[in-house]
Amino acid sequence: MCGIAGQYCLDGRAPDTALLAAMSERLAHRGPDGEGTRICGCTGLVHRRLAIIDLSDEGLQPMTNEDETLWLLFNGEIYNYIELRDELIQKGHRFHSHSDTEVILHAYEEWGTDCLARFNGMWAFALWDTKQQQLFCARDRLGIKPFYYTLAGGSFLFASEIKALLAHPDAGKRPDDRTLGTFLAWGVLDHSGHTMFDQVFQLEPAHAMVVTAAGPQKPFRYWDVKVNPDICSAMPDDDAASRLLGILRDATRIHLRSDVAVGTCLSGGIDSSTLTVLINDIIRSEAPASVGTKQKTFSAVFADKRYDESRYIDEIVAATGVDAHHVVPAPDQLWEDIDRLVYMQDEPFGSLSIYAQYCVMRLAQENVKVVLDGQGADELLGGYLAYQGSYIGSLLRSFHWGTALREIAGSIMRHGGFFGSAARQLVERKKRRSLLRCTADEILRYNGSLDRVLYNELTSTNLPSLLHYEDRNSMAFSIESRVPFLDYRFVEYVASLPLSQKIRGGVTKIALRNAIKGIVAESIRCRMDKMGFVTPEEVWMQENLRPFVLELLSSDAFRARPYWDADAVTQNYQEFLEGKSAYSPEIWRIICTELWLRKFFDRRSAAVSG
């Protein structure tokens, strides 16, 4: 795990070493264990190292092959590197390290760009081929690791984070108004190759790209997944559950491969609880040195019981005997942290829930260097309650009347309060979109058949943004975060299951719930609410953060923005404070966008003019 960046001078001149040094410095938090630079003619490569596998100097990057014709920058982990290494040795390749980085080099030598299909892991890498004078760039299947790029000053620049690209004075000088407007109106980001910085792009998940002296070629998709649209099949529940648990257990096992300490994020929900229990079982059967004899878990808890999951966390801790660590995110601390949080995220974020995760990662930094997290299970297994509306709509449109009636009855019985609240929120959100003055693409997350909705959520409308938050929050504290539910084998298997293995009778995650019966406590296995690392955002925005928000709304900078009607926003916030309107995330998105504009544009402009 690390930070990578580079400059390919398309006109053949030598790279700017001062620029490379500045880019490297802006990624120092991603790699505090070392740095490396390599100039290869017109290309400069820089690396910040977070040593996880092969801690020796043999694992340093940029890394080359035997004849120095290939130079690699790699951020991520290839979890099946041991098996690939053995296979490549049998084919005659010689290794000088025990790192997964070197496996990529030899795999590229053996299979070319088809090597991507061989990897099981998370990655963003750039490989300079001196013979072909081209840069091969690739990002993992689900986009767990980031890769950004831009053209500036006659160069192709790339980096793990946008802030590193901004070291070039011509990069990302203005917001991308349409992408920013779409975020403000619909709360989505990372749903396309565009970012909220003008002319700064991201390599999308499951895409690769070749860059030559003529510039970057069109990125190409090397992997895709199909979500099964079938309502049900003849597959017995026990068979589906058994296969699911087997794949998940193996995915968790290889995600524990590490030469440094590994811990677990435990929210108290089904997904993180399942991982915690599986890891404890793996400790007993395989004794991975990375975990030790006692698993360490990291959780966020709150005094406000509406947002607190302590009783579920405590139940897992009691059942497993893990070494549990807790943090209590507080609004006063949030406002002290907000400047760094906005900076680390690079782009504005849709809710304050990510602050709980930020605090958990800060806590974990004191104990481990790697954490496992439950990201991805909801999008795969239909875990969000709003998916039930999509499912019922699918059933009605496909004339599955009986199944539709059962789902309606189950949803009303188990989640009637949620759907009533959701209906009111839709009205409130529509009103708040009228406060905006910006152009936006319409993103209706839950429209369409459930299989299409889940595919979009996995590849564009939800998971990419959550992975963005997780990567920046963890790397802000030099922590590597791993997500076993996004092992591509698990993704492909769950996607192949019929929809009735995901939602049935108003119950979500059917196959997973069946798989963990007798393994995870019934009080957790049968939970019907959905929280995760959340914060009391509404309470904070109404009480503790009120003076800060009012000061921001009254500022000249806020009132001068072209993206919203400042007077209407202020009035709307006042109505919320007075209890005349319900809270919705649009309020925070506007506040966060203002903080982001100040951090990345106002201060930059002031520095240039000064």
Using the 8-state DSSP alphabet, how is residue 485 labeled?
G
Give the DSSP letter of residue 197: B
- Cα dihedral 28, 30, 35, 39, rounded to 10, equals -90
Rounded CA-CA distance 502/486 in Å is: 16
Query: Between vectors from CA 361 to CA 355 and to CA 363, what angle results, nearest 5°?
Result: 105
Give the three-state DSSP class for 467.
Answer: helix
Taking only Cα atoms into account, the Rg of the chain, rounded to an integer number of angstroms, comes to 24
Residue with tokens 């979890």: 79
The rounded distance, in Å, linking the Cα atoms of 137 and 147 is 9
232 is catalytic: no
Token pair for 530: 């959905």
Integer Cα distance of 109 and 113 in angstroms: 9
**Token output for 241:** 């559950």
Q: Which residues pair with 212 in a beta bridge?
A: 215
Q: By three-state DSSP, how is residue 211 classified?
A: strand
With beta carbons less than 8 A apart as the criterion, state whether 196 and 174 touch: no
Q: Rounded to an integer, what distance in angstroms lies between the CA atom of residue 316 and that of residue 297?
A: 10
Exactly one of 2, 40, 42, 115 is catalytic; which is it? 2
What is the distance between the alpha carbons of residues 540 and 331, in angstroms, rounded to a whole number?
Answer: 6
C-alpha 564 chain-centroid distance: 28
20: tokens are: 């490379």
Catalytic residues: 2
